[in-house]
Structure formats: structure tokens, C-alpha cells
Amino acid sequence: MQVVLLCAAQRGLALFLPVFAGVIYVIQKVYLRTSRQLRYLELESRAAVLTRFLESVSAEYLPTLSIGVVFLTSLTVLIGRGS
């Protein structure tokens, strides 16, 4: 109701309001698409770290000391890359 009264009182507002609504709509669509892509990339980058972490917790991946050293080195690199 107030928008109708404002548009009746101010002709410029009546012309600007649909343009403003269109700009807000476009900005919202671009922001939502970008935030979804960033979330997907973040989850993808953390997947390798979480997989290695779960393997180390299960202790099935560390049968010998030499493999353990290689595993811990690669885990350290992945954690550094994920931060």
C-alpha cells in the first residue's frame, strides 16, 4: 500500500522501482551461483584431507613404518594446501 502511494506521489520512483528490482534480482542470481561454486570447491579440496584422516584413524593403511612416513608427509602437504 505504501509503495503505491509513493509511486503516485513521485513519478520518478515509479520509473526507478522496476529497474531497481531487476538489478537486485540479477545480483542475487549471480551471488547464489558463485557461492554454490565456492562451496563445491571447498568441499572438493577438503575431501582428500578427510579421506586420509579416516584412513589414519582406521590404522589399516599404516602396516609398516616406511609407508607411515610417506603417508604422514602427504597428509601434511594436503593439510597445508587445504588451509
The per-residue pLDDT for range 61-72, each reduced to its tens digit, is 555 555 666 777
**CA atoms of 63 and 68, how far apart (whole Å):** 8
Ranges of residues in the chain with a pLDDT under 70 are 56-69, 82-83
- CB burial of 11-26 (b: ≥16 within 10 Å; e: otherwise) equals eeeeeeeeeeeeeeee
**pTM assigned to the model:** 0.45
The DSSP code for 63 is S
> Residue 68 is placed in which grid cell?
607411515
The predicted pLDDT at position 23 comes to 93
